[in-house]
Structure 1
Amino acid sequence: MDDIVRQAMAKWPNVPSAYGWLGLDARGNWYLRDEQAQAAGAFASGRPGAKGALVQLEKLVDFIQRNYEVDEAGRWFFQNGPQRVFVELEATPWIWRVAADGSVTAHDGRPAQVHAVFTDEQGRVYLRTDRGFGLVHTQDVAGVAEAVEAGRWTPQAVQAAELPVREGYVPSPQAQAGGR
């Protein structure tokens, strides 16, 4: 977490949390969700306009990713100065990129070490790593297949609906909080 964020938290300790205003999609992209986007539906609903506006400013993306953390209840958030902005997850808290050499990085660009590989009923691939649990980016599934064929990874079958509880993350803190 950035020092400036820690300082703001100390200076203003009682700022209310925000729900529904930020989302992470299944490809590792960040979206800002204004009232119109939230009114269009849940972030992961697939409804037109529900995702909101793609964050394209590189410095803002970097700031979000440096200050992206999880609380004790499994709700992922972006600490924006003194305000905790809970993140709506389209899929999982991490989106993994798998390079040709088998190395794995998260959507924030930092490396991860794979501990387990999973596939769900729809053929999606997930990794549990030293950094946490996440979905493999769709463009990198072939790299996972190569690692499996080479005997480096052995996937286990899972049911997608069971993953949030099993892996300890909350896909929609907004829905959990009663739609705030």
Structure 2
Amino acid sequence: MDQIVRDALAKWPNVPACTGWLLLDRRGQWRMRDDACQAAGGIGDVIRHDALKRFIARNYEADASGRWFFQNGPQRVFVDLAYTPHVVRLHRGGAAHEGDTPRLVDECGNPFAPAAGWFDDQGNVLFSGTGTNGAATPPTIALLHDHDLALFAECLDADLPPDATAHATPDAAVSVSPDGATMPRAVAWGGGRSLPFAPIPAAEIAKRFGFVQRPDL
């Protein structure tokens, strides 16, 4: 959290919070929702101002109830989530020492360290793990940006180590995609590491990972 935000909180500690004005969509875009948009049930206009997006990203956190918010100076702006509290982009390699190792970056531009992967019943790919936004971030879940599904398919085609399924989660005994195709229970993730994958119903995501998609005051 920015120091200027901490200072504002200390100076004005009782500013009422608000809901409905800010939304994170399925492609990791911040969207502003005015009164008319909220009344119409729209998702809002994409915020394109780079400095504002960076400010939101630096001050984006969750409270103890699993409600994600943007601390806008002294005011807490709770965020509506189109699906998950994070959306990640997938990259392969980068620095010379990384080789072809997959890596994830969240909507705030921070690395996302995956502990497991998931296929939901709507054809989405998700990762549970820990973000690194400079704060003590609890384990959470992120949706893979749909533009990166083809790149993810290349990861699926990678040769898996002999013990690739050894550390799969207990509920990964059967991993089936929405079209009925059997999916691997683990994906090679570089450095000899395999990432376990399992199916999960989309309707269970929020409860399982402890977040609120539509926060109320």
Aligned mates of 2:57, 2:87 — CA distance in 1: 12
Q: 1:65 aligns with which of 52, 57, 62?
A: 57
The answer as to whether partners of 1:116 and 1:129 remain within 8 angstroms in 2 is: yes
Aligned to 1:166: 208
RCO (CA 8 Å, sep 6+): is it higher in 1 or 2?
1
Structure 1 window deviating more from structure 2 (142-151 vs 96-105): it is: 142-151
Percent identical residues: 45
Aligned to 1:145: 153
Q: 1:51 aligns with which of 43, 47, 50?
A: 43
**Structure 1 residue 54, shift from structure 2 partner:** 1.2
1:159 counterpart letter in structure 2? P
Higher percent of residues as helix: 1
Flag structure 1 segments of 5+ consecutive residues without an equivalent: 42-49
Aligned to 2:192: none
Aligned mates of 2:212, 2:62 — CA distance in 1: 10
Report how many residues are paired: 167
Residue deviations 1:48-93 (CA, integer Å, cap 9, x gap): xx01221010000000010000000000000000000000000100
**Structure 1 residue 144, shift from structure 2 partner:** 2.3
Aligned to 2:22: 22
Flag structure 2 segments of 5+ consecutive residues without an equivalent: 94-101, 132-139, 161-187, 189-194
3-state SS of the aligned residue for 1:103?
strand
**Structure 1 residue 149, shift from structure 2 partner:** 2.8
1:56-135 pair list within 5 angstroms: 56-101=48-93, 102-131=102-131, 132-135=140-143
Task: Mark the structure with the bigger radius of gyration.
Answer: 2
3-state SS of the aligned residue for 2:14?
coil
Aligned to 1:155: 197
TM-score by length of 1: 0.89
TM-score by length of 2: 0.74
Q: 1:136 aligns with which of 138, 144, 159?
A: 144
